[in-house]
Chains A and B, each alone.
Chain A
Amino acid sequence: MVKMAKVAGALWVALLAGCTTKTPDRPTIRVAVYASGPRGAISGPLHYWKNRWEEETGATLEIAEIPFAELHDKVFADLRAGTGQYDGIIGPAWFYGDYLLGNYILPIDDFIQRGKNGEFPFWDPQTVVPALRELHRWNGRWYGVPNDGDAHVLYYRKDVLADPKWQDAYRKATGKPLRVPETWEELAEIAEFFHGKDWNGDGEPDYGITMHLAVGGQGFFHYMSLSAAYTVLPGPQKDRYHNVYWFDPETMEPLINTPGHRRALAMLRRLQKAGPRGQTDWQLKEAWDRFLNGKAVFCYSWGDVGSLAQDESQSRIKGKLGCTALPGTMEVWDREHNRWVRFERPNRVGNTVGASWHGVITRQSKHPELVYHLFAFHAQKEINMFHCATGWTGIDPGRTFHFLQPRGEATLETYTSAGWHPEDARQYTEAFYQNYYESTAFLDYLRIPGTMELWRQLDRRLHEAVVDHSIAEEEILARIEADWRRTLERISNEIGPDRLKQLYQRSIGYGQRVQP
C-alpha cells in the first residue's frame, strides 16, 4: 500500500517536475503581488503582458502571487530576513513607512533620468496627478513607479435622480429639489428617500446605497474618505491644525476622538441604514454587484465601479452611470479654537484612499534595471491607458492622460473604443479630476511604520460600530484611540519617539505649503 503510494507519488512528482522547464542562462526576476490570478485585478495585467515583456527584454518574469491577507507578512518577512526572494514588490502605498524604516527599497530618480534617454520604457513623472505623486515619493525622492490610482468617488444613478416622477415625489416628501448631492447630509437624505422603495421596477424593494463594510476587507476606507470632510480643516499650509487628519504632528496624539469624527461616524451609520442589511458582511465585489445590477442609487468607491459598469455581462447600468467627487460638509471641526467652522460652499476634501498598487524595487535585487524596466513598461502611457479603461485590471485613473481634453490628453474615442458609454466616460473622468484637482483640502495618506496595524485596529472598531448601533460613537472612537496609543507607544519604544514623529512629519509633508 505504502509502496504503491510512494511509487505513484514519485511518478507524479516526476511528471510535474517535467512540466516546469527552466532555461538557466536567462536572468529571472521575481515580483511579489497579491494573488488574484491571471485574469484578476492588479496581478492580471502582469500575466497579460508577461510574454511581450519577456520577448522585449530576454528575461524571465516570475509572478509570485501571495494571498492578499498575507502580503504584508510575507513581504516584510523576506525583507527583514534579507532572503532576497523578491526583486520587486507591487504593494500598497501604506507599506512605505515600513519600507523606508528598514531602508529596503531603491530610489528610482536615476532610472527615470535614464528612461528619458531611451534606456527604459518612458513614462513622464509629470503625468502623475500631484495628489498621487507624493504616494510614490519619500522625502523628495521617487521610489514607486505609478501603476494604479486609487481614490473614492461617488457613483449615482443619473437616470433615477433626473427622473421627473422621482423629482416630484422627492420634493413632496422633503420640500427640497432632488439633485446630485454636494454634502453628506444631502446624500443621506436622498439615499433614505429611495431606500426600501422599488424604484427600479423589479418588484422588490431596492436600496439607497451599497457599501463594502466587511471586517478584514477595505470597509474602513469608506469611513476615511467620509470623515475627511468633517475633520480636515483647509488652510494655506500643512500645519498643526490645518490639512491634517491622523495625528497631531507635534505630539503624535491621535486625532480620532474629536467632535468631527463623532459626526462622521454618526453619518456612516446613517448611510448604512439606507443600505442592505447584509453589507456589513460584504467585500468590494458584493457591494459593487448590487449597484451594477441596478439595486442601489448610490455607491461610493474606487474607479473600478466605473469601468466594470461598462461590461454588460456584469452590469445593467451602462449609460446610466452618474459620477462626481465625494460630497462635503458645511461645517468642519477646528481643533485650534475648539469650534465648528461654517463654510459658504461645501468642504469637499479630496482623497487618495486605497492602495494605489504600484511597484517598488528591493535593495536585495540583483537585477534592479530589469525590475524597473518591467514597472516602467506597465507605466507607459499606452499600456496604462488600456488598463485604466478596462474593468478587470483593477487599475484606476491617476495619470493626467486619463482625463478627457482639455483636462488631459484622452479623447472620448479612447474610452468608447474600450467599450465605454461616452457620457459615462465623461462624468467618470471629470469626477476624478474634481477629486484630484478641485478639492478644498486633502486627506493625508498614512505612511508611518505600523500603518498596517493601525488600520487593522481602525477597521475592526469600525466594524463594531456598524454591526452594533447601540455602542455610542464616543465609545467606538475612544476604543480606536486607546488601540492606537498602545501601538504608537510600542513602536516608539522600538524606534524612538523622535524618529516616529519625524517619519510622520516627513510622510505628510509637514510645514509645506498646500497647492491651491
Chain B
Amino acid sequence: MRTLRGYLWVAPALVWTLAISLGPTLYMVVHAFLAPRFDPAAGRPRLRWVGFENFARFVADDQLLHSVWWTVGVACTAVVLEVVLGLALALAAWSLTGRAARVAGGLLTMPMLMAPVAVAYLATTVFAQDVGLINGSLARWLGVPPERLPNWRSDPVWATVAILLVEVWQWTPFCFAVLLAGLASQPSELYEAARIDGAAGWSLLRHVTLPLLRPVLVVVVLIRLVESLKLFDVPYGLTRGGPGTATQSYSMWIKEIGLTRYDVGLASAMGLLLLVVLASSGTMALWLSKRARSVTQG
C-alpha cells in the first residue's frame, strides 16, 4: 500500500519523462529499418522494410564516420580541459577570501548561463580571420604577420580549436562552480590532522584534497561528457560545420539528414546508434559513480 502510494507520487513525472523519450525511441527503432521505395503499381513511394540497409549506408559514408570520431575527440578533449582548468580555478578561489573574490567567482559563472547558440554567434567576431578579436590582437600586440595568422574557420584544425575554445570558455565555469562547492564542503578537521602530520602544499593536495573531491569529480566529468557529446549549437553558429564538413558534429548530421534531406531511415539509424551507446555507457557510468560514492562515503 505504502509502496503503491509512493509510485503514485512519482508516476506523473516518470510517465511524462518516459513518454517523451520512449515515443521517439520507438519511432526510431521502426524507421531505422524502413525506407521509402517507389511502388510502380501505386505510382508513388511506399515505406518498405529494408533490413540493415540504413546502417550500411551510415557505415559507408566517410563524412558521417568522421563526425563520430571528431565529436568524440572534441568532447573528451573539452572535458579534460574544462575539468583541469576548473579545478585550478576552484583551488585558487578556495584559497581566497573577501568580497572581491566572491564577486570575481560570481562573474566567472556567467558564461554557463548564456544560450550556447548566442555564444557561438558572438564568437564569430572573435575568430574572424583578419579583424577578429584574437587575430586582430595577435597582429597588433604581438606583431604576428598577416600570413601567419590562423585562418580560424577555414582550417580543420584551427576550426576545431575554435570550437574547443568556445566550449571550454562556456563550461569551465560550471566545473569551477561545482568543484569549488565540493572543496568548500570538505571537513576542515581532516586538514588540521594532515597538517599536524606535516603535509603541506602539493602533498596536501594530492593526498587529502583530491581523494576527498573524487566523487564530485566523477559527477562533473560524467555530466560534462554526456553534454559535450550532444555538441550542436556551437559548430552550427560558428563554423557551419566547415571547412567542408570537418566540424559537422554527429548531432548536426542527424538533424540535416532527418529534416533537410528527409532521409528518415538513415537519421533514425544514426539516432538509434547514438542512443544505444550513450544510454548504456551513461547508465553504467552513473552506476559506477554511485558505487564509488558509497565506497568513499561508507
Chain A residues near B (Cβ < 8 Å) = 69, 72-73, 76-77, 80, 214-217, 276-278, 280-281, 450, 452-453, 456, 460-461, 463-464, 466-468, 486, 490, 492-496, 499
Contact = CB atoms under 8 A, between A and B. Distances in A.
Given A277-B147, A463-B244, A496 B259 contact: no
A493 B38 contact: yes
A467 B154 contact: yes
8 contacts: A69-B240, A73-B260, A76-B262, A214-B242, A278-B129, A280-B243, A456-B260, A464-B244
A359 B240 CA distance: 28
B130 interface: yes
B242 A463 contact: yes
- Max chain B Cβ within 10 angstroms of own Cβ: one of A73, A278, A281, A467: A281
Contacts, number: 80
B91 interface: no
Main secondary structure of the interface of A (DSSP, over half): helix
Given A464-B243, A494-B45, A280 B260 contact: no
B160 to A, nearest CB: 13
B245 interface: yes
Contact of B155 (A214, A450, A467, A495): A467
B24 interface: no
Contacts of A495: 38, 45
A467 B246 CA distance: 11
Contacts of A461: 244
Contact of B153 (A72, A214, A464): A214
Contact of B152 (A73, A215, A281, A468): A281
Interface in B96-140: 128-130
Given A216-B241, A467-B244, A281 B129 contact: yes
Interface of B: 35-38, 40, 45, 61, 128-130, 146-147, 151-156, 239-245, 259-263
A467 B150 CA distance: 12
A490 B151 CA distance: 36
Given A215-B242, A493-B35, A276 B130 contact: yes
Given A73-B259, A281-B154, A460 B35 contact: no
Contacts of A215: 239-244
- Max chain A Cβ within 10 angstroms of own Cβ: one of B36, B146, B240: B240
Contacts of B152: 281
Contacts of B260: 72-73, 452-453, 456
A460 B253 CA distance: 13
A379 B36 CA distance: 40
A493 B36 contact: yes
B243 A277 contact: no
A34 to B, nearest CB: 15
Contacts of B130: 276-278
Contacts of A490: 263
B129 A496 contact: no
Nearest to B248: A460
A463 B243 contact: yes
A281 B128 contact: yes
Nearest to A290: B130
Contacts of A452: 260
B249 to A, nearest CB: 14
Given A215-B242, A460-B245, A463-B244, 10 more contacts: A73-B260, A214-B153, A215-B240, A216-B240, A216-B242, A280-B243, A281-B152, A464-B243, A467-B151, A493-B38
- Max chain A Cβ within 10 angstroms of own Cβ: one of B37, B239, B261: B261
A473 to B, nearest CB: 15
A74 B187 CA distance: 55
Given A73-B260, A467-B244, A494 B36 contact: yes
A456 B243 CA distance: 13
Contacts of B263: 490
A494 B244 contact: no
Nearest to B37: A493
Contacts of B156: 467
Q: Which 9 A-B pairs have the closest CB atoms?
A: A216-B240, A215-B242, A278-B129, A464-B244, A280-B154, A496-B38, A467-B243, A281-B153, A467-B154
